[in-house]
Amino acid sequence: MEGMFDARKIERVFFNLLLNACEAVAPAHVRIVIEACSSLASFEVRVTDNGPGIPESIRESLFDPFVSSGKPNGTGMGLAIVNRIIQDHGGAVCVEKTSASGTTFLLKFPRSLAGLDAGGQLAPVPHSA
């Protein structure tokens, strides 16, 4: 996938998501699927695990700093950092689905900030004639 982004920061995003997935599932059973697709203007990446799902009590505040659940040494910073980095790239991250059989995080971000309009939204892609 080609685009303009801070490779180290995007690597950090995937590291944090994969670490959480690994921490949510017993090592012998962990299954993580990463799906990526791109259009002319943007990337869409899904990270899916087969863990027990996001605890109900934190579903609304998951991306806030210091929100952690079920981990003795959790800092609650992992997803706050993911959210910040993706926002800095003009994109957005959300939990697409979560249940007792697994969780999917969906990331969307533009190939390049040059493609954004003044409001920071993905600008419409011009159609070729």
Ligand X SMILES: Nc1ncnc2c1ncn2[C@@H]1O[C@H](COP(=O)(O)OP(=O)(O)O)[C@@H](O)[C@H]1O
Residue numbers of the site for ligand X (CB under 6 A)? 16, 20-21, 24, 49, 51, 53-55, 58, 62, 67-71, 74-80, 103
SS3 of residue 122 by DSSP: strand
- Of 51 and 78, the one with the shorter C-beta distance to Mg ion is 78
8 A C-beta contact, residue 12 and residue 80:
no
Q: How far is the CB of 19 from Mg ion (least distance, A)?
A: 6
Closest CA to 22 of 47, 44, 45, 56: 47
Rule CB under 5 A: is residue 20 a binding residue for Mg ion?
Answer: yes
8 A C-beta contact, residue 93 and residue 106:
yes
Longest dimension (CA), the chain: 58
Q: How far is the CB of 20 from Mg ion (least distance, A)?
A: 4
Give the residue carrying structure tokens 């991306």: 63
Rule CB under 5 A: is residue 83 a binding residue for Mg ion?
Answer: no
Residue 76 binds what, of ligand X, Mg ion, none (CB under 5 to 8 Å, by partner type)? ligand X
Angle among Cα 27, 29, 33 to the nearest 5 degrees reads 100
Q: How far is the CB of 8 from Mg ion (least distance, A)?
A: 18
- Of 78 and 102, the one with the shorter C-beta distance to Mg ion is 78
Provide the binding-site residues for Mg ion, judged by CB under 5 A.
20, 78
